[in-house]
Chains A and B, each alone.
Chain A
Amino acid sequence: MRLGVLFSGGKDSCYALYKAQKTDEVACLISVISKNKESYMFHTPNISLTKLQAEAIGIPLIQKSTEGRKEDELKDLKSAIRDAIGTHKIEGIVTGAIESVYQAKRVQKICNELNIWCFNPLWMKDQKELLHELVENGFHIIITGIFAYPLDEKWLGRKIDEKVIDELAVLEEKYQMNPAGEGGEIETTVIDAPFFKKRVEIIESDIKAEGNSGVLVIKKAKLVSK
């Protein structure tokens, strides 16, 4: 089946893409760039990097921008998916939703209206298990957003490895923080993965943080051979 992956460039959408490539043909990636930093639906820090990531992966990208007003975002997403159906003849959508009924329901409804399939290959997956699998499979993931106590700017730019997973597990235990950050506690950017034909090298970045909230903005990056 020809599929389009809803792609934010973060770990969940990249892992969903990885899974989809094992069973089906991923014909395109779809990114919605929200101008609203508090977007209900779409991952925001470094979303503009998706263009470079798509180039690294070697799969065409459909990009759409949205003002990010709550339900208008969905109209823009629907329009992007409609474009993907027209241009890339996709028959279904893949998302990286894990626990969020809020996100899943909305994408399911859009796919239902457009009469296409909807797949959520990470659905209900144990969050720590997910992080371990990503590391084991050679995903190079960096933390580019923190939005919850007790995280601080020291977390920004860290590569997710077994040590970071252990630390996140401690925070889960102590503060009930979702270790994979699907609740928006952590945002991530994938700069290399097994299916990347080239890897992303960050040339210049900037940290903007205040208290328990902050982002690492990638200002300049390039593709390098693996």
Chain B
Amino acid sequence: MILVIDMNHKKNSLAFSEFVLPIISVAEKTEVCVAKHYSETTQKEIGKYSKIILSGTTLKDNTYLDDVDKFMWIRKTDVHVLGICAGMQIIGAVFDSGVRRCEEIGMTDVETVKKNPLFSGKFSAYELHSRVIDVPEDFCVLAKSKKCAQAIKHKRKDIYGVLFHPEVRNREIIERFVGL
């Protein structure tokens, strides 16, 4: 079972159908999905899922960055994790990286810089972010745009972060993650 974590500023927000449902519609083709708001996710239950996907949020919503303590399970888990946009930023915050302003909105050219099972080569991706993370020490960069790192992976664990939105364009990336 896959857990999709709603990263929006509150449970049942108007943004749920924009940022969480599109992920579920791709992932549930392969495996049953459940969605939970991050405020309701506990360390104890994390181990019962096969994969965890952290959603994005609206451009103006950075509330999750005030709640980093609710995501510390990411450091300890052995479950595969994919953080999308806000999800990637929270992975960075959990692993003590800095967050800085960097805006990309709309289709952007992305280039793979390290071989990985999720994507390859050059592709165009949908972006909606005003901030980026500095790549944490334990992570390597998998892809980048002209402005910043677009995808990262933990050096030893299956923890991935993508800054772009694969639920909008390049949905096969979610399918590949689910199939890992």
Give the interface size bracket for B toward A: 20 to 34
Known: A117-B61, A119-B14. A101 touches B105 (CB 8 A): no
Q: Is B21 an interface residue (CB 8 A)?
A: yes
Interface residues of A in 105-137 (CB under 8 A from B): 105, 108-109, 111-112, 115-126
Q: Which residues of A contact B168 (CB under 8 A)?
A: 101, 123-124
**B107 near A101: Cβ-Cβ < 8 Å:** yes
Q: How far is the CA of A106 from the CA of B129 in the complex (A)?
A: 14
Q: How far is the CA of A23 from the CA of B16 in the complex (A)?
A: 11
Q: How far is the CA of A187 from the CA of B59 in the complex (A)?
A: 29
Known: A101-B107, A119-B18, A120-B18. A111 touches B13 (CB 8 A): no
A46 → B minimal CB distance (Å): 27
Q: How far is the CA of A20 from the CA of B17 in the complex (A)?
A: 11
Q: Which residues of B contact A123 (CB under 8 A)?
A: 17-18, 22, 168
Interface residues of A in 1-48 (CB under 8 A from B): 3, 19-20, 23-24
**B60 near A116: Cβ-Cβ < 8 Å:** yes
User: Which listed residue, B14, B21, B22, B105, touches A108 by the CB 8 Å rule?
Assistant: B105
User: Which listed residue, A117, A122, A125, touches B58 by the CB 8 Å rule?
Assistant: A117
Q: Is B160 an interface residue (CB 8 A)?
A: no
Q: Which residues of A contact B25 (CB under 8 A)?
A: 124, 126
A102 → B minimal CB distance (Å): 9
**A105 near B22: Cβ-Cβ < 8 Å:** no
Q: Which residues of B contact A84 (CB under 8 A)?
A: none
Q: Is A94 an interface residue (CB 8 A)?
A: yes
User: Which listed residue, A19, A112, A125, touches B130 by the CB 8 Å rule?
Assistant: A112
Q: Which residues of B contact A24 (CB under 8 A)?
A: 14
Q: How far is the CA of A157 from the CA of B17 in the complex (A)?
A: 31
Q: Pull 8 A–B residue pairs with CB atoms less than 8 Å apart, ordered by A.
A: A19-B17, A24-B14, A94-B14, A108-B59, A119-B15, A119-B18, A121-B17, A123-B168
Which A-B residue pairs are the 8 nearest by beta carbons? A105-B106, A124-B22, A123-B18, A23-B14, A119-B14, A121-B17, A117-B60, A120-B18
Given contact pairs A101-B169, A111-B60, A119-B18, enumerate 13 new A-B contacts (beta carbons under 8 Å).
A23-B14, A24-B14, A94-B14, A105-B107, A111-B59, A112-B60, A117-B61, A118-B60, A121-B14, A121-B17, A123-B168, A124-B18, A125-B21
